[in-house]
Amino acid sequence: MTNNVADHHPGNSVAEGNHEGDFGCSMVELRNLMELRSAEAVARLNDSYGGVQNVCKRLKTSPVEGLSGNPTDLEKRRQVFGQNFIPPKKAKTFLQLVWEALQDVTLIILEIAAIISLGLSFYHPPGGDNELCGQSTGGVEDEGESQAGWIEGAAILFSVIIVVLVTAFNDWSKEKQFRGLQSRIEQEQKFTVIRKGQVIQIPVAEIVVGDIAQIKYGDLLPADGILIQGNDLKIDESSLTGESDHVKKSLEKDPMLLSGTHVMEGSGRMVVTAVGINSQTGIIFTLLGAGEGDEEKKVKKGKKTGAPENRNKAKTQDGVALEIQPLKSQEGVENEEKEKKKVKVPKKEKSVLQGKLTRLAVQIGKAGLIMSAITVIILVLYFVIDTFGVQGRPWLAECTPIYIQYFVKFFIIGVTVLVVAVPEGLPLAVTISLAYSVKKMMKDNNLVRHLDACETMGNATAICSDKTGTLTMNRMTVVQAYVGDTHYRQIPDPEAILPKILDLIVNGVAINSAYTSKILPPEKEGGLPRQVGNKTECALLGFVLDLKQDYQAVRNEVPEEKLYKVYTFNSVRKSMSTVLKNGNGGFRMYSKGASEIILRKCTRILDKNGDPRLFKVKDRDEMVKKVIEPMACHGLRTICLAFRDFPADAEPDWDSENEILSDLTCIAVVGIEDPVRPEVPDAILKCQRAGITVRMVTGDNINTARAIATKCGILLPGEDFLCLEGKEFNRLIRNEKGEVEQEQLDKIWPKLRVLARSSPTDKHTLVKGIIDSTIGDQRQVVAVTGDGTNDGPALKKADVGFAMGIAGTDVAKEASDIILTDDNFTSIVKAVMWGRNVYDSISKFLQFQLTVNVVAVIVAFTGACITQDSPLKAVQMLWVNLIMDTFASLALATEPPSESLLLRKPYGRNKPLISRTMMKNILGHAVYQLTIIFTLLFAGEKFFDIDSGRNAPLHSPPTEHYTIVFNTFVMMQLFNEINARKIHGERNVFEAIYRNPIFCTVVLGTFAAQIIIVEFGGKPFSCSGLTLSQWFWCIFIGVGELLWGQLICTVPTSHLKFLKEAGHGITKEEIPEEELPEDVDEIDHAEMELRRGQILWFRGLNRIQTQMDVVYTFQTGASSLQGALRRQPSIVSQHHDVKNVSSPTHVALSSVNSTPTTSAVAAAAASPPAGNQSGECVP
């Protein structure tokens, strides 16, 4: 990216020369102008340019009509001012991904073992023929072994290569998919601009300097611009400045709008002045890109520092990437990718499952090491005692090489035991399982942005859902109306309403609503008309159409420029009003809003003749009782339409809002229905069965909320659940000082089901309270759905945040982990199913893998100790251990989920991976297999009437005896793979086996491969061909596994008290208090547990750092600051939401001037702002 910037400047200066005449200002001038803020900017605008209208003139654009849209003109603008596109960072190459996959601990152990064994196989010491050295029992390897010695090492290396390539390929295809997906999201992301006087939506990348863009609530600005006209515009600029307060924008005070910031309120129009890498966010990006190279070098220098630094770097950039993605930034994708990669490599895991797996792998590895050490010690002692003790030989110097060769052979046997003990398939199983699930979840309308969210979802115990759009269809329609003293239960006939009332309704709706809201014809024949813009306004516009009137004609007559004054809708006003100037100099104001609010301001109401009559308090109470409450109890939202005329003689004071908005005349009250999605009640029932509590958090009034919650099945008749309003909720949980008390909250949340009239802060408080709560035996795992800009904080705080793909604002999508592409609650249930499935798949694989490992280790160990030679040869072990396991992980990790997954309770955070039932299965099957193998080993030759393979002379070809042992072992694994399909002690292991073609293919394929190995494997595999009857016996013993499995099922787990669980999650107590940056291993565990919410505060901190980086381009203190950050995990978690940092920017800069001290950063870390209502994480 550095180059881009360098290349741009010379190019541009030339361009400026040529095009200076065409446009009245150059790119650099505009760029400098955009760097100013508020009063400075206004002054510069007026002095140098003569106001924003003149800027438009210089840019050859009309504030009303916009650009002409002429392709040559647009192309020229792109050449002069650049495109609205930030060039992507290069994707990781396949080799980089391979290198990342090689970092896996188990693989490293294997590689070392393989290289040692390869080296030793080529080393032949001299003096092998000396008689005096003795030919101790077991003899030196026969010729075949010594020639085939290299096969073992090569085979291990080969299998490592396979695992690495598969992992790398997985990552690569995922990255590719992710990029494709990102570009899909980007193409869908459009922005409203005016061209040739038409309001059109164009992809963000096509915006050029000089475009007139319409902005409204919830938008993420795609480019820098200057405000031309605005109503009540408030912007959250925390993504650029770190200030969480919303900034008011107006022509007089502060007209500068910056890319990457969010519109929190109001609407307006702006002229675009800088795009792509010249916009404020683009500039930051270019600087970050420049810093990238230096970082990489540092990482290569020291691996020790490398890991944490790398990790933080991804976060730093992720912090920035959050705001900039909409700028067509591929950079954001990269960071997502980085975050995802982190999940794969055990060094940097973040998720619950990864934590459990890493710990389990370490435990198993330790056990394997101990076993292999014991094996080696026993073999060495046996040899020494036998040679020098029993046979009493002297140690001769010339014999030393031979003795060393013996010891080396023992060491190799030890390594074989270790290789067998380590479950190589684990990393692969996890990778396959997650990648498979994410791919399939796409089909179920879940777009997973963070891989670990998929698996966290399986543990969810609570879902806090929005009402509008998630539980309901978000297709508002007017179904009842109260007009002219008559309550119509369905849409009235246009003839029934007097023309003058009808006229008021049409004007009141058409003019007094955002002109961006409109109803378009359906996309498909016979479909429903499309609603664009604000859904409530669309419902009213639909009502106008149902009355056979045309709202567009009215809008054409009164374009937006003619509106005299607009009071836009916001959460405080809960109403919207528009003032028009009449021909006679008077004014007319139309208002609409929540009926309880507007009716209080009404003093008259239109009667059935269309004449205003007095409307007193008792009339109002009666109306509430007779009209409004019955509507609310049907789950309708009530909206009141009203108007007021101001006389021509004196212009009212438009700023005293209370006086303006009074003395209104009520035109009508309408009831708007947002029907519950038909599939929601069923989905909620499934959640409740699965042990997940669904809570509804909504801004609607409590009657409507209660009615809808009952329809959905969130509230069940006859149960004592709480329905609270936001005010009441806050009164119950806050102390006198207004701080949230966790004990108070703990009394409320278990019973709370509906939170109505709630603010975004309430939602955040509730989610945080449930997550931090320690009552109950399981810590809660909370999923949250949200669509509005204001849901950002709650989405980030939650363990899994779901954003709405269709109705969601950009801000909500940025904060989420999973995007619901169809906005449907049932997709959340599917996500739960997939999450649980991932968990179960990995448990199934573990159950299979550990049985193989336990048996193989014991056989290798005892065999080596008793016969001084393992009955299962190294290459055979590898076949069983690496190849079969790799395929088994494929077979068991791709089991499709079934509805039965939703019939059990969630596992929770600290449930072990290997339950007692699984332990029972593992040990039970191990007993069966060991019994069979040892019987065959020591008595098999009598049973089959063949030569014994135990004390076969040296250099003899492979025996049938040992081949039968190997073959039976493999057959038992094969049938045990079928047993492993069930982990909760179910009896029917064949259930729905045909739904998983991969499983069937793998089992049959392995079987075929085994036949080939036994019959044609010969010397390398130490096999000799078997007769048909011997084959049948082997298969028969294998089938015995299935019967034995049924037997194990009958033994109740509860009676086996001695069984232990393994692979626990980390409990809170285990997290060490102080972490040191060097100690990478320790940090991983702390980080895993420093749940994502807190990691987000780290990102916030990193935002501060980003500001430093912008100034200092990664030159100073980045790494020391990182170190400081790493030291504070425990503090952050405790003071989660302390008071606001007055101005984080100062913290950042001061810490550059001095060396960044831990305390300065800790102070910032310990105090994320409490009242952050924006969708961004703020430092």
For 68-114, what is each residue's pLDDT tens digit?
A: 878 888 888 888 888 887 776 677 788 888 888 788 666 776 677 67
In our burial notation (b when 16+ CB lie closer than 10 A, e otherwise), range 633-660 reads ebbbbbbbbbbbebeeeeeeeeeeeeeb
Nearest alpha carbon to residue 665 among 647, 645, 644, 640: 644
**Amino acid 1166: pLDDT:** 42
Q: Give yes or no for a contact between 481 and 492, defined as CB atoms under 8 angstroms apart.
A: yes
**Amino acid 562: pLDDT:** 81
Band the pLDDT of 1063: cuts 50, 70, 90. low
**Torsion angle defined by CA atoms of residues 5, 7, 8 and 13, in that order, rounded to the nearest 10 degrees:** 130
Band the pLDDT of 1067: cuts 50, 70, 90. very low
Rounded CA separation 214/266 (Å):
11
Average pLDDT over residues 414-424: 72
Strand partners, 477: 673
Rounded CA separation 330/324 (Å):
9
**Amino acid 571: pLDDT:** 66
Whether 749 shows a pLDDT value over 80: the answer reads: yes
Question: Which tens digit of pLDDT belongs to each residue from 553-606?
Answer: 888 888 877 888 888 877 677 889 999 888 888 899 999 998 888 888 899 999
Q: Where are the alpha helices (DSSP H) in 773-824?
A: 792-797, 810-815
Whether 313 shows a pLDDT value over 60: the answer reads: no
Nearest alpha carbon to residue 590 among 478, 506, 497, 494: 506
Average pLDDT, the chain: 75
**Amino acid 1042: pLDDT:** 92
Rounded CA separation 799/772 (Å):
11
- Which amino acid appears at position 347 of this protein? K
Least confident of 277-286, 588-597, 873-882, 1144-1153: 1144-1153
For 436-535, where are the E strands, in sequence order?
A: 446-448, 462-465, 477-483, 486-488, 518-520, 530-532
What φ, ψ does residue 25 adopt, rounded to 5°?
A: -150, 145
Residue 466 annotated in active site: yes
Whether 502 shows a pLDDT value over 50: the answer reads: yes
Average pLDDT over residues 614-625: 89
Largest CA distance in the chain: 129
Q: Give yes or no for a contact between 763 and 699, defined as CB atoms under 8 angstroms apart.
A: no
Q: Give yes or no for a contact between 640 and 669, defined as CB atoms under 8 angstroms apart.
A: yes
Whether 928 shows a pLDDT value over 90: the answer reads: yes
Q: Which of 466, 674, 787, 791 is catalytic?
A: 466
Rounded CA separation 466/596 (Å):
23
**Amino acid 1106: pLDDT:** 53
Quickly list DSSP for 227-258. EEEEEEEEEE-HHHH---SEEEEBTTTB-EE-
**Amino acid 1105: pLDDT:** 53
Q: Give yes or no for a contact between 786 and 1173, defined as CB atoms under 8 angstroms apart.
A: no
Percentage of the residues of the chain whose pLDDT score is greater than 70: 75
Average pLDDT over residues 363-383: 84
Q: Look up residue 170 and give its two tokens.
A: 């997985």
3-state secondary structure of 1113: coil
Angle at 587 between CA 564 and CA 508, to 5 degrees: 75
Angle at 50 between CA 45 and CA 55, to 5 degrees: 75
**Amino acid 1074: pLDDT:** 36
- Bridge pairing between strands 752-756 and 722-725: parallel
In our burial notation (b when 16+ CB lie closer than 10 A, e otherwise), range 404-415 reads ebbebbbbbbbb
Rounded CA separation 879/870 (Å):
15
Q: Give yes or no for a contact between 50 and 181, defined as CB atoms under 8 angstroms apart.
A: no
Whether 490 shows a pLDDT value over 50: the answer reads: yes
**Amino acid 109: pLDDT:** 67
As to burial, measured by CB atoms within 10 angstroms (0-12 exposed, 13-18 middle, 19+ buried), residue 784 is buried
**Torsion angle defined by CA atoms of residues 1134, 1138, 1143 and 1146, in that order, rounded to the nearest 10 degrees:** -30
> Measured in whole angstroms, how far is the alpha carbon of residue 282 from the centre of its chain?
25
Strand partners, 670: 481, 639
DSSP-derived letter for residue 1116 is S
Q: Look up residue 785 and give its two tokens.
A: 């759905």
Angle at 844 between CA 838 and CA 846, to 5 degrees: 105
Average pLDDT over residues 141-164: 66
**Amino acid 1108: pLDDT:** 52
Percentage of the residues of the chain whose pLDDT score is greater than 90: 7
Task: Say which residues have a Cβ less than 8 Å from residue 596's Cβ, sequence separation at least 6.
Answer: 624, 628, 638, 701
Least confident of 298-312, 416-430, 614-628, 845-859: 298-312
Structure-model confidence comparison of residues 575 and 435, the more confident one = 575
Strand partners, 725: 756
Band the pLDDT of 125: cuts 50, 70, 90. low
Least confident of 171-175, 293-297, 308-312: 308-312
3-state secondary structure of 1072: coil
Structure-model confidence comparison of residues 25 and 981, the more confident one = 981
- The length of the chain, given as a count of residues: 1179
What φ, ψ does residue 896 adopt, rounded to 5°?
A: -70, 150
**Torsion angle defined by CA atoms of residues 385, 390, 395 and 401, in that order, rounded to the nearest 10 degrees:** -60
Structure-model confidence comparison of residues 648 and 806, the more confident one = 648
Task: Say which residues have a Cβ less than 8 Å from residue 190's Cβ, sequence separation at least 6.
Answer: 201, 202, 203, 204
Average pLDDT over residues 1011-1032: 85
Nearest alpha carbon to residue 90 among 2, 157, 208, 152: 2
3-state secondary structure of 472: strand
Helix and strand numbers (H, E) in the chain are: 45, 26
Which of the listed ranges 35-39, 135-139, 1131-1135 does the model predict with the highest average pLDDT?
35-39
- Bridge pairing between strands 518-520 and 664-673: unpaired
Q: Is the C-alpha dihedral spanning 9, 238, 809, 436 positive or negative?
A: positive
Structure-model confidence comparison of residues 548 and 312, the more confident one = 548
3-state secondary structure of 1031: helix
Whether 1129 shows a pLDDT value over 60: the answer reads: no
Average pLDDT over residues 1174-1178: 39
Strand partners, 190: 203
Quick one: which H or E segment has residue 803? strand 800-804
Q: Look up residue 719 and give its two tokens.
A: 């149960």
The structure tokens 């729905």 sit at 992
Task: Say which residues have a Cβ less than 8 Å from residue 11's Cβ, sequence separation at least 6.
Answer: none
Band the pLDDT of 1176: cuts 50, 70, 90. very low
**Amino acid 641: pLDDT:** 92
Band the pLDDT of 306: cuts 50, 70, 90. very low
Question: Which tens digit of pLDDT belongs to each residue from 1086-1104?
Answer: 334 334 444 544 554 555 5
Q: Look up residue 1035 and give its two tokens.
A: 């298969």
As to burial, measured by CB atoms within 10 angstroms (0-12 exposed, 13-18 middle, 19+ buried), residue 1149 is middle
Rounded CA separation 873/870 (Å):
6
Whether 929 shows a pLDDT value over 90: the answer reads: yes
Q: Look up residue 816 and give its two tokens.
A: 């989420």
3-state secondary structure of 867: helix
**Amino acid 1071: pLDDT:** 39
Whether 1145 shows a pLDDT value over 50: the answer reads: no
**Amino acid 1159: pLDDT:** 42
3-state secondary structure of 268: strand
Average pLDDT over residues 515-537: 80
- Bridge pairing between strands 693-697 and 462-465: parallel
What φ, ψ does residue 311 adopt, rounded to 5°?
A: -65, -45
**Amino acid 552: pLDDT:** 87
Average pLDDT over residues 207-220: 84
Least confident of 356-365, 610-619, 888-897: 356-365
Structure-model confidence comparison of residues 234 and 328, the more confident one = 234
Structure-model confidence comparison of residues 1056 and 619, the more confident one = 619
Which of the listed ranges 148-152, 343-347, 429-433, 992-996 does the model predict with the highest average pLDDT?
992-996
Whether 736 shows a pLDDT value over 80: the answer reads: yes
Rounded CA separation 215/514 (Å):
11
**Amino acid 1089: pLDDT:** 39
As to burial, measured by CB atoms within 10 angstroms (0-12 exposed, 13-18 middle, 19+ buried), residue 184 is exposed
Band the pLDDT of 381: cuts 50, 70, 90. confident
Q: Give yes or no for a contact between 1026 and 1034, defined as CB atoms under 8 angstroms apart.
A: yes
Question: Which tens digit of pLDDT belongs to each residue from 661-686?
Answer: 888 999 999 999 888 888 889 999 99
**Amino acid 105: pLDDT:** 66
Band the pLDDT of 124: cuts 50, 70, 90. low
- Which amino acid appears at position 701 of this protein? N
Question: Which tens digit of pLDDT belongs to each residue from 766-788?
Answer: 898 888 888 877 788 899 988 77
Angle at 487 between CA 482 and CA 490, to 5 degrees: 90
The structure tokens 């009355």 sit at 547
Give the number of other CB atoms < 10 A from CB of residue 362: 14
What φ, ψ does residue 202 adopt, rounded to 5°?
A: -125, 155
Average pLDDT over residues 788-800: 81
